[in-house]
Amino acid sequence: MRRATQGLTAAAVIGLASLSQGAWAHAHIASSEPAAQATVEAPKSVRVTFDSALEGALSKLTVVDAKGKAVTQAKPELDAARKTLTLAVPTLAAGEYQANWVAVASDGHRTQGSFKFTVK
């Protein structure tokens, strides 16, 4: 009986430890290409790198023009390290664009954000 209780306690401690580790696994944006607020030549893709691994099927990256219209219906690709989302885009005309991202970390926590860039 005592042994079983100890086993349960150990399991609870391990459970708590992995939960609190998970709480640190929120994905935050580390960098992007183009960078936020940058003015660039028309890029071939828009790329966002996060500080922790993502769930590819749930994470999103879209790019809209100044009128809010999506520039592509394509889905972003997640790299092997699961930290960078890359969205291939058609040749973008000069103007202002906004990238919107939703990052679902490996612990299921969701973060989101957006940034603007200008194509010259």
Residues in contact with Cu ion by CB under 5 A are 25-26, 107, 109
On the CB side of 28, CA atoms within 13 Å amount to 4
Closer residue to Cu ion in complex, CB, 77/107: 107
Q: Which one-letter DSSP state was computed for residue 24? A: T
Task: Tell me the closest approach of the beta carbon of residue 75 to Cu ion, in angstroms.
Answer: 23
Closer residue to Cu ion in complex, CB, 28/116: 28
Long-range contacts, stretch 108-112, CB < 8 angstroms, 24+ apart: 108/55, 109/22, 109/23, 109/25, 109/26, 109/27, 110/58, 111/26, 111/27, 111/28
Task: Tell me the closest approach of the beta carbon of residue 77 to Cu ion, in angstroms.
Answer: 23
Task: Tell me the closest approach of the beta carbon of residue 25 to Cu ion, in angstroms.
Answer: 5
